[in-house]
Amino acid sequence: MPRRALHTDDVKIEQQPVINLETVDASPDRAPDIIKADEANLKKDYLDELAFNEEPVTIVIDQSSEKNAPHAYYVAVNGRGAEVQENGRWFERKWLMVNQPLTIKRKYVEVLLRSKTTRVETIVPNPGDSDLERYPGGKLLRFTSGVCAFSIVNDKNPRGFDWAMKLRQQNF
């Protein structure tokens, strides 16, 4: 049974915590993260993921209401523009137009889902502020939002809805 359309503005993006500027560790002596893959599971999982990312998904990118809003968004994976299906054939398009139904491969939808911007605000407390005791050196607030809003209007894979929700919510 097909699910309803997913609109990215309906998905709450995880926000990063407030940073207490008094306790920030600026030392560059952090050990690098090392990730090792289990080769036994790698081949099948990797091939399944590649096939999943090549599936067609139909989206409509919303026109923003901001002044001088873009009429198209640049989307590419490894330097290759989005593969858009038109009249049963695939064409490369680096710019995706707003307010048009577009059938593109899932890997390009992932680029749009992960495209986010973070606004940063530094607040230094004044004497008498309620936050002075909690954040004596000030605090850093971060607000993350999506670069563009769009609707996923057709995704035939039953995993697609949950996949899109998870990617949109993530904040790295």
DSSP symbols for the chain = -PPPPEEGGGSPPPPPPPEETTS----S-PPPP-----HHHHHHHHHHHHHHHTSEEEEEEPPP-STT--SEEE-EETTEEEEEEETTEEEEESEEETTSEEEEEHHHHHHHHH-EEEEEEEE-PPTT-TTTTT-TT-EEEEEEEESS-EEEEE--STTHHHHHHHHHH---
Per-residue model confidence as pLDDT tens digits over 91-116: 999 999 999 999 999 999 999 999 99
pTM of the model: 0.76
Residues of the chain with pLDDT under 70: 1-4, 24-32, 35-42, 131-132, 172
